[in-house]
């Protein structure tokens, strides 16, 4: 029996088929399945390859994007750093320019300061030289000027207080310059004011100790120094220091009136209370104390204010008078020149003018 005569039932449909047909069909199915399986595997392999390529490309694209993003970020940072650098550079340049400008100003200011100091010193030197020259020209020698001041003080005291004994201390004798014995209208002696006149370029505290010694020797009551240079501690033209009154010459008579009045009052109190020396001593202490000094200074300040105002008014009027006088002199001189010119041309025929003598004197 050959294979073609052998019959079997189909496992799918139950139909009776030959073994050869069944084997042929089985082989075909096996081959088809294998082809399908191979094709499937090949497709899976290709799909896997394509998927891997796609993933690789996506990965590479992602990495490229990240690189691009990083590059963009880095470029932005570099641009920002560049802007910051340029801004900082401009700021630094501005600081350096400002420092250079300030340094130049300081250097110029220092130069100007030296120039100003030099000019100021030259001005001060010139001013001092002029002051020294004026002082020498107007005052003469210091000794002569001191004697003149002393004589003037003595003269003024005599004229102001005719009832007092104003005595000059002779040159070479120990003591102050002027001794003033204060007397009432009835001739009663009330006390002694001892005056020392100083015309010096600088104040010395030795003047005080010397006058206090003279005060004890003369048995006087009140010491006064009239000086051209006040102590540096003094802020006014009248000053009280270590029991001695100090003033400038223009305030000497004012101070004399007040001190003299106090001595008279003390003497009157002594006369009234006689043996009650304590009260008289209190009055004397008052004369030499701060309260009386403050009263004197208040009066002096008022006098100074009024005197300054009068001096300003006097200077203003003197300037006006001087200007008018110069204008009048100029008018007289010009008129005299005209008259002289005409008289020279006309000779004796020129008529005599009233006041011609005045004009001719103005020519000279």
Residue 285 clears pLDDT 60, i.e. is over it = yes
Model confidence band, residue 351 (pLDDT cutoffs 50, 70, 90): low
In this prediction, residues 222-244 reach a mean pLDDT of 90
Residue 168 clears pLDDT 80, i.e. is over it = yes
The pLDDT value given to residue 224: 93
In this prediction, residues 332-358 reach a mean pLDDT of 59
Look up residue 351 and give its DSSP letter.
P
In this prediction, residues 6-34 reach a mean pLDDT of 67
Q: What is the pTM of this model?
A: 0.41
Cβ–Cβ < 8 Å for 24, 9: no
The pLDDT value given to residue 362: 44
pLDDT by residue (tens digit) across 116-136? 677 667 667 766 766 666 666
Token pair of 103, please? 């340094």
In this prediction, residues 252-277 reach a mean pLDDT of 81
- Distance from chain centroid for Cα 85: 44
For the chain, the domains span: 142-288, 314-360
Which one is predicted more confidently, 78 or 10? 78
In this prediction, residues 217-232 reach a mean pLDDT of 90
Residue 188 clears pLDDT 80, i.e. is over it = yes
Residue 210 clears pLDDT 60, i.e. is over it = yes
Instruction: Find the range with the poorest average confidence among 65-69, 129-133, 254-258, 270-274.
Output: 129-133
The pLDDT value given to residue 182: 93
Cross-strand partners of 241: 244
Number of neighbouring beta carbons within 10 Å of residue 207: 18
- The pair phi, psi for residue 246, each rounded to 5°, is -130, 135
Most confident of 21-25, 138-142, 201-205, 331-335: 201-205
The pLDDT value given to residue 246: 93
In this prediction, residues 58-74 reach a mean pLDDT of 84
142-288 in CATH: which number? 3.40.1350
Residue 75 clears pLDDT 80, i.e. is over it = yes
Instruction: Find the range with the poorest average confidence among 132-136, 190-194, 197-201.
Output: 132-136
What CA dihedral angle connects 26, 27, 30 and 32, to 10 degrees?
-110
The pLDDT value given to residue 364: 45
The pLDDT value given to residue 270: 78
- The pair phi, psi for residue 226, each rounded to 5°, is -100, 120
Which one is predicted more confidently, 201 or 355? 201
**Residues 6+ positions from 319 with CB-CB distance below 8 Å:** none
pLDDT by residue (tens digit) across 297-337? 777 777 777 777 878 888 887 888 787 778 777 766 766 66
Cβ–Cβ < 8 Å for 240, 287: no
The pLDDT value given to residue 163: 92
Model confidence band, residue 140 (pLDDT cutoffs 50, 70, 90): low
Cβ–Cβ < 8 Å for 187, 223: no
The pLDDT value given to residue 161: 93
């Amino acid at each position: 029996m050959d294979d073609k005569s052998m019959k079997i039932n189909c496992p799918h449909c139950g139909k009776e088929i030959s073994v050869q047909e069944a084997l042929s069909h089985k082989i075909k199915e096996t081959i088809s399945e294998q082809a399908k399986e191979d094709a499937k595997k090949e497709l899976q392999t290709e799909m896997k390859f394509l998927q891997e390529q796609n993933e690789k490309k996506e990965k590479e694209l992602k990495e490229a994007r990240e690189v691009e993003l990083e590059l963009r970020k880095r470029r932005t940072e570099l641009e920002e750093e560049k802007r910051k650098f340029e801004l900082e550079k401009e700021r630094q340049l501005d600081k350096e320019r400002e420092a250079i400008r300030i340094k130049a100003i300081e250097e110029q200011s220092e130069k100007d300061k030296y120039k100003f100091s030099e000019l100021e010193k030259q001005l001060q030197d010139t001013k001092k030289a002029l002051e020294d020259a004026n002082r020498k020209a107007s005052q003469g020698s210091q000794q002569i000027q001191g004697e003149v001041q002393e004589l003037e003080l003595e003269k003024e005291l005599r004229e102001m207080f005719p009832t007092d004994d104003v005595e000059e201390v002779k040159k070479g004798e120990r003591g102050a310059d002027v001794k003033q014995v204060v007397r009432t209208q009835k001739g009663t002696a009330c006390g002694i004011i001892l005056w020392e006149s100083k015309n010096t370029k600088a104040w010395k505290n030795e003047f005080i100790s010397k006058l206090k010694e003279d005060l004890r020797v003369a048995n006087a009551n009140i010491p006064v120094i009239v000086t051209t240079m006040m102590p540096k501690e003094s802020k006014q033209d009248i000053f009280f220091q270590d029991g001695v009154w100090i003033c400038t010459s223009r305030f000497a008579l004012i101070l004399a009136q007040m001190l003299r009045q106090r001595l008279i009052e003390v003497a009157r109190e002594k006369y009234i209370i006689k043996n009650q020396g304590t009260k008289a001593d209190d009055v004397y202490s008052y004369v030499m104390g701060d309260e009386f000094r403050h009263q004197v200074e208040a009066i002096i300040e008022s006098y100074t204010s009024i005197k300054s105002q009068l001096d300003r008014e006097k200077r203003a009027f003197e300037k006006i008078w001087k200007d008018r006088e110069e204008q009048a002199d100029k008018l007289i001189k010009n008129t005299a020149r005209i008259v002289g010119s005409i008289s020279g041309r006309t000779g004796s025929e020129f008529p005599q003018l009233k006041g011609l003598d005045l004009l001719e004197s103005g020519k000279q």
